[in-house]
Amino acid sequence: MGTPVAKTTDPRKVAPPSVGAALSALRQSEGLSLDALARQSGVSKSMLSQIERDKTNPTVAVVWRLAQALGVEVAELLRGGTRGTQHAINVVPKAQTPSMRTADGKCELRILGPVELAGRFEWYEVTLQPGGALRSEAHPPGSREHLTVLSGRVSVSSGDRTQRVAAEETARYAADVPHAIINEGKSTAVALLVVLHPRS
pLDDT score of 89: 65
Q: How far is the C-alpha of 61 from the C-alpha of 104, rounded, in Å? A: 11
Which H, E and C letters describe 91-117, residue by residue?
Answer: CCCHHHCCEEECCCCCEEEEECCCHHH
Q: What is the CATH number of domain 102-196?
A: 2.60.120.10
pTM (predicted TM-score): 0.58
Burial of 111 (0-12, 13-18, 19+ CB in 10 A): buried
Q: How far is the C-alpha of 175 from the C-alpha of 66, rounded, in Å? A: 23
Domain residue spans of the chain: 16-77, 102-196
Q: How far is the C-alpha of 117 from the C-alpha of 30, rounded, in Å? A: 23
Cβ contacts of residue 28 below 8 Å, gap of 6+?
none
Check pLDDT > 80 for residue 117: no
Q: Is 16-77 a CATH 1.10.260.40 domain?
A: yes
What are 12-43's pLDDT values in tens digits? 444 445 688 888 888 887 888 898 899 989 99
